[in-house]
Amino acid sequence: MNCKLIRQLKTLSTENKLLLTGTPLQNNLGELWSLLNFLLPDVFSSLENFESWFDFASSVGQEGADQEILAKEQRNNVITKLHAILKPFLLRRVKSDVETSLPGKMEVIMYAEMTDKQREVNRLLMGDGDVDGKKGSISSLNNMLMQMRKNCNHPDLITAAAEGSFLYPPADQLVAECGKMQLLEKLLNKLLPRGHKVLIFSQTTAMLDLLDAYFDEKKIGCCRIDGSISWQDRQAAMKRFNSESDCKIFLLSTRAGGLGINLTGADTCIIYDSDWNPHQDLQAMDRCHRIGQQKPVLVIRLATSHSVEGKLLRRANSKLMLERLVIKKGAFIDLSDGGDGADAGGRKASNTNMGKSELLEILKADITLDDVPQSGEVDEAMMERILDREFLLHVADQGGMKIPYPESGKGYEVVRHEGASGGLMGSIL
């Protein structure tokens, strides 16, 4: 709301304003208010007032919040009022409005256990240990949370800096030192021989460099896009990946590779490490699950069990829950009731009043992060069942997909998705 772009835009004299966005609300209500304030500054004049109308937002995703929000809704209809206020200003469209034949998509979190090396680095980060006789060389690093996330990705991201090393260890050592790398190698050993093409997203170019070195030693062809790649090289890399069979892996940084890129040649997306903003990861998935895709898409999100990544996933999940609650999918499609409850196109008019069961369904967490999925790594038999796309071929999916195995178990949990109909195309304000 205070960025230079908005300040400059407000100086323009216009009779009409139109905003197109896929993400009107990413982190908090303030982001949505800033868009509405730009459009109608007289109506949406105060962020403080806007947030006070909907004081449920701060508790979304917290333990016991669902019952508290339900009580507020039943007492004051705060969520129903919010939808009524937003409806005149927001037109919502999802993928099913423009493409009903898009194949299904499923997201699974797979948990890796820390190796002894990672546990040791974690211990040093939280204490006053030393690495190779260098007292405190790790624990003195800035930003503890970021360092612990790096350790989850690969301990070499920390130890190399502490030791002043510029060479990567051999590929086998890279795998042996990191639980996520071990899990990634198992997945790729099953996916690549079966002809699947894979996108691998990471938050940092340092992790992409490490993966690049690993694939180079393994003689596995891959393409890459990050912020340093020119648009000409991006176009060439996309063309090669989508058309050439020998290029089976595409490495991308989540922010640079999450927009304006069409990689429907892939049918598997691996989120190596998650973003604090879940919409960045959703944009990344949609590089392959988009119009033009002919195959069902499997998204595998890697996480380290009993680590700082659990906190990150909970926070990201609460942001998605807030968006579902505030901007209910389909709630703002303006359907005029012609007497039979349908519009000219035959679609049923939706009631914006939210019942108890519907509200609780919206507030249901996509992930549990309980002890069972994090109690070990997924076994070979279950991994085979998860990687099987056969049932996803038949997901037309208006009310959710039926998964032919438990939704959670040792080493994995399935993230709730609505298949082809659930993805967002965009919103017009």
pLDDT at 286: 83
pTM: 0.77
DSSP code, position 150? H
Q: Measure the CA–CA gap between 187 and 197, rounded to whole angstroms.
A: 12
Tally Cβ neighbours within 10 Å of residue 344: 8
Which residue has tokens 């790649």?
229
What is the fold, at CATH topology level, of the domain defined by 100-114+178-305+373-423? Rossmann fold (3.40.50)
pLDDT at 35: 85
Answer for the pair 49, 102: CB distance below 8 angstroms, yes or no.
Answer: no
Question: What is the reported pLDDT for 245?
Answer: 83
Average pLDDT, the chain: 77
Section 197-208 average pLDDT: 93
Residue 10 sits at φ, ψ, to 5 deg, of -70, -15
Predicted confidence at residue 68, as pLDDT, reads 61
Q: Which whole number is the average pLDDT over 65-75?
A: 61
For residue 323, which of 222, 238, 427 has the smallest C-alpha distance?
A: 427
Share of the chain above pLDDT 70, in %: 72
Q: How far is CA 238 from CA 103, 224, 248, 286, in A?
A: 21, 9, 12, 15
Q: Which of 273, 271, 278 is nearest to 316 (CA)?
A: 278
- Predicted confidence at residue 190, as pLDDT, reads 95
Residue type, 371: D
Question: Residue 99: what pLDDT?
Answer: 64
pLDDT at 206 over 90: yes
Q: Are 7 and 418 in contact (CB under 8 A)?
A: no
What share of the chain has pLDDT > 90, as a percent? 27
More confident residue, 420 or 143: 143
- Do the beta carbons of residue 361 and residue 375 sit within 8 Å? no
Cβ contact 414:107 at 8 Å: yes
Between residues 199 and 71, the one the model is more confident about: 199
- Residues 37-54 have a mean pLDDT of 80
Most confident of 179-193, 301-315, 337-351: 179-193
Range of weakest confidence among 53-62, 306-315, 338-347, 356-365: 338-347
CA-based nearest residue to 223, from 203, 210, 237, 206? 237
Residue 136 has pLDDT above 60, yes or no: no
The domains of the chain are located at 100-114+178-305+373-423, 116-165
